[in-house]
Amino acid sequence: MTPPTLEVRNLRTHFFTRAGVVKAVDDVSFTVERGKVLGLVGESGSGKTVTGFSILGLVDPPGRITGGQILFKGTDLATLSEAQMRDLRGNRIAMIFQDPMMTLNPVLRIDTQMIETVLAHARVSRAEARQRARDALGQVGIPSPEERLAAYPHQFSGGMRQRVAIAIALLHKPDLIIADEPTTALDVTIQGQILAEAQKLCTQYGTALIWITHDLSVVAGLADDIAVMYAGKVAESGPVSEVLDAPLHPYTRGLIGSVPSRNHRGAPLSQIPGMTPSLLNLPPGCAFRARCPRAEARCAEPPPFAEYLPGRHARCIHPHLAEVAAA
Amino acid sequence: MSETLEAPAMRTTEAPPIVEARGVSRRFAKTLDFAAKLARRLGVKVREEVVHAVDGVDLAIRRGEVVGLVGESGCGKSTLGRMIAGILPPSDGVILSHGRDLRSLDGPEARRVKLATQMIFQDPYASLNPRLKVEEIVGEAPLVHGLARRSELAAYVDEQLRRAGLDPALKKRYPHQFSGGQRQRIGIARALAVQPDFLVCDEAVAALDVSIQAQILNLFMKLRKELDLTYLFISHDLGVVEHLSDRVVIMYLGRVVEEAPAEEVFRSPNHPYTQALLAEVPRIDARKRSFAGVQGEIPSPLNPPSGCHFHPRCPHAMERCKLERPALKAIAPGRRSACHLNDLA
């Protein structure tokens, strides 16, 4: 049996700041199979972006991966040298950022940037590299790619820039793409176009995709599996449909209730009281307990990340199992 | 949590409009710099670039209603909202607030009419003065406008904060000491402190996390009931608009393309743009669907397409759509749509 494209086991990334240790990612585990989409969901500060950066080995000091394993097609990325990592980044694993200008250099033409990316990992002629760049632009739906190659990033609209960033991520047909809120800044109709490209990618090339977002609705439509993060930990994970229909963790439940939906127009949303805790010097035990309607004394103990149902994990000692059975 | 916060009663037909925009347009011109003026004198063809941010919009908001104003970036929804709030004068057309033309008023009367409309902004980080304490932010306007005496101000401010869901004990703090959701509450307390009856909320929850967004949306609905408020709720998020609004107005490139009661527009959108927009909205109850995407880009408002602005992206476009601007016409009681297809049926 071939190993999954990515397997993250008990990943911990901590930031050692002067004010104390920030446990941005603290015991995160998930698996992404070939051609599948994992939706990594969470609110601001839940550690979803740092998880993405950790996989790529892009965590800067004072941050450091302090524990766990990241297995890419069975290889532990921690055992690789920096040169081997560099060979992997942009080649086998690519990242798409929320702001495409993080990928694009504003003073270089698109063709310069794309050819550079091709030549960084492939021994091909410049003409061949240009050809590949043009094909990639066409693939993501940029009209007249030949002319657009000669343009500068500022000559593109926001949606088009994001497409260029995706085209660059596609150049080497990577095995894994980590997309960090790539459609958050875009309009609905443009977001639809980008999501359509993402779906095509997974089915055509078997690319595995980690889609980091705060938007449960996007994950519902796009992903196969979901991992909900809260305060640096995965609160719940499992197949999208099952988790969204009958969540186990009270936080997931609260989050879903917070999304306005057409079923209860005008009715009050079931809000989660309070706000997300600061990650600095987080007390032990369940981080959600101060906001949780089910909290009890035992919640001061760290809850285990247990498999309550086949393929469904939750970090909670009193999951909503009765509701799952009823659903 | 069993009580519903439905509208006190949908007074949609008989109530007089609280605010009305008649044929309102707003143009922004980029004036030519020295070099361009010189070039023009030398006979080079340069002209001023004019953006028609809002182009001939009619809109009436009745007392007690929540109107959702929806559109993608650059469609002019914020500009229209600012004009309706009275903080941006229109280039053409009239804004009637409480039955009065804003431009014809001056003195205390103008102040009174303008106070009745308040605005809540998107960015809770930029819309609060960082050098003022919360009590000053909330208390300044009521004091200036004589709504509270200095001796009663502290109690008045406490009351405003409590109503917005903030602990009055925090009023000596500065905005940077609050989270995004709490800052939005400060903005709401500030707006309500001058006792308005109409609020323009411009993307008021767009910058907030989902769980905080739900808290603020619930607060808006609670306040509506308590204070009998009327809202113009501007948002790009159709889920939020659907949840909150009685009536929805959809804009595309400076024009209103459709206007209808919320339930109807989400059930059976008439305009092809509305249809496309609704088809693209991800929904939490739509699983593993395939996305298609509306063809093409949103055109630049500097150089909008002729005729119907949507025709280059419209799957039903006809010859007529390229030539003639469709009028916003009634297609059913309470529903208006600007599409030539409605003439064919």
The mean pLDDT value for A273-294 works out to 83
- Percent of all residues in chain A with a pLDDT value above 70, rounded to a whole number: 98
- CB distance B238–A262 less than 8 Å? no
Which residues of chain B lie closer than 8 angstroms to A272, CB-CB? 211, 214-215
Query: Which residues does A35 contact at the CB level (< 8 Å), separation at least 6?
Result: A202, A203, A206, A207, A208
Q: Is residue B10 scored above 60 in pLDDT?
A: no
Token pair listed for A6:
């990515």
Q: What digits encode the pLDDT tens for the residues A71-81? A: 999 899 888 89
Query: Which residues does A141 contact at the CB level (< 8 Å), separation at least 6?
Result: A163, A193, A197
ipTM above 0.85, yes or no: no
Query: Which residues does B343 contact at the CB level (< 8 Å), separation at least 6?
Result: none
Q: What are phi and psi of A305, to 5 degrees?
A: -90, 90
Buried b (16+ CB within 10 A) or exposed e, B247-267: bbbbbbbbbbbbbbbbeebbe
Q: Is residue B266 scored above 70 in pLDDT?
A: yes
Residue B2 touches partner A, C-beta closer than 8 Å: no
Element (H, E) at B57: strand B49-62
Would you state the pLDDT for residue B2?
Answer: 40
For A193, the closest of B212, B239, B293 (CB atoms) is B293
Residue of chain B minimizing CA distance to A222: B288
Tell me the CATH architecture of domain B17-33+49-116+198-208+228-344: 3-Layer(aba) Sandwich (3.40)
CA-nearest of A312, A210, A182, A296 to A252 is A312
For residues B59 and B258, what is the distance between their CA atoms, to the nearest angstrom? 11
Q: Is residue A247 scored above 90 in pLDDT?
A: yes
Would you state the pLDDT for residue A260?
Answer: 83
Would you state the pLDDT for residue B11?
Answer: 43
Token pair listed for A289:
């307990």
> H helices then E strands: how many in chain B?
12, 12
Residue B281 touches partner A, C-beta closer than 8 Å: yes
Residue of chain B minimizing CA distance to A253: B211
The mean pLDDT value for A286-306 works out to 90
* Start-end of H helices in B164-271: 180-192, 210-227, 238-244, 262-267
Q: What digits encode the pLDDT tens for the residues A99-125? A: 888 889 999 999 999 999 999 988 899
Q: What digits encode the pLDDT tens for the residues A123-163? A: 899 999 999 999 888 877 787 888 888 989 988 877 788 88
CA atoms within 13 A on the CB side of A263: 9
Q: Tell me the angle at which helices B180-192 and B153-163 cross, rounded to the nearest 10 degrees.
A: 130
Average pLDDT of every residue of chain A:
88
Interface test with A, best of B65, B182, B211 (most A CBs within 10 A): B211
Which residues of chain A lie closer than 8 angstroms to B3, CB-CB? 268
- Percent of all residues in chain A with a pLDDT value above 90, rounded to a whole number: 43
Token pair listed for A120:
């960084």
> 10 Å Cβ neighbour count for B5?
18
B189 near B160, Cβ under 8 Å?
Answer: yes
Which residues 55-74 of chain B have a CB within 8 Å of chain A? 72-73
Element (H, E) at B251: strand B247-252
Question: What are B311-317's contacts with CB under 8 Å, separation 24+?
Answer: B313/B273, B313/B276, B314/B272, B314/B273, B315/B272, B316/B272, B316/B341
Residue of chain B minimizing CA distance to A192: B293
The Cα of A254 is separated from the nearest Cα of chain B by a number of Å equal to 8
Domain-wise residue ranges, chain B: 17-33+49-116+198-208+228-344
- CB distance A265–B239 less than 8 Å? no
The mean pLDDT value for B306-311 works out to 91
Largest alpha-carbon pair distance within chain A? 67
A231 near A280, Cβ under 8 Å?
Answer: no
Average pLDDT of every residue of chain B:
86
For residues B167 and A309, what is the distance between their CA atoms, to the nearest angstrom? 42
For residues A178 and A198, what is the distance between their CA atoms, to the nearest angstrom? 11
- What letter would DSSP give residue B170? G
For A220, the closest of B182, B287, B298 (CB atoms) is B287
pLDDT tier for residue B54 given thresholds of 50, 70 and 90: very high
Interface test with B, best of A188, A204, A214 (most B CBs within 10 A): A188
Q: What digits encode the pLDDT tens for the residues A196-240? A: 888 888 888 889 999 999 889 889 989 999 999 999 999 999 999
For residues B57 and B53, what is the distance between their CA atoms, to the nearest angstrom? 11
- CB distance B6–A266 less than 8 Å? yes
Which residues of chain A lie closer than 8 angstroms to B262, CB-CB? 265
Would you state the pLDDT for residue A72?
Answer: 93
For B242, the closest of A187, A192, A262 (CB atoms) is A262
Would you state the pLDDT for residue B194?
Answer: 92
Token pair listed for A14:
């901590």
Token pair listed for B320:
């007529």
Q: Is residue B48 scored above 80 in pLDDT?
A: no
CA-nearest of A42, A29, A49 to A255 is A42
Query: Which residues does A116 contact at the CB level (< 8 Å), separation at least 6?
Result: none
Q: Is residue A190 scored above 80 in pLDDT?
A: no
- CB distance B292–A192 less than 8 Å? yes
Using DSSP's 3-state secondary structure scheme, residue B337 falls into: strand
- Start-to-end Cα distance in chain A: 34
pLDDT tier for residue B133 given thresholds of 50, 70 and 90: very high
Q: What are phi and psi of A96, to 5 degrees?
A: -115, 130
Would you state the pLDDT for residue B326?
Answer: 93
Token pair listed for B117:
């409309």
Q: What digits encode the pLDDT tens for the residues B218-227? A: 999 999 999 9
More confident site: B108 or A309: A309
- CB distance A217–B72 less than 8 Å? no
- CB distance A269–B240 less than 8 Å? no
Which residues 246-265 of chain B have a CB within 8 Å of chain A? 262-263
For residues A32 and A319, what is the distance between their CA atoms, to the nearest angstrom? 24
Q: What digits encode the pLDDT tens for the residues B198-243? A: 999 998 888 788 888 888 899 999 999 999 999 999 998 888 898 8
Residue B211 touches partner A, C-beta closer than 8 Å: yes
> 10 Å Cβ neighbour count for A323?
13
For residues A21 and A15, what is the distance between their CA atoms, to the nearest angstrom? 6
Which residues 156-215 of chain A have a CB within 8 Å of chain B? 157, 159-160, 187-196, 199, 214-215
Would you state the pLDDT for residue B208?
Answer: 82
Residue B242 touches partner A, C-beta closer than 8 Å: yes
Residue of chain A minimizing CA distance to B281: A188
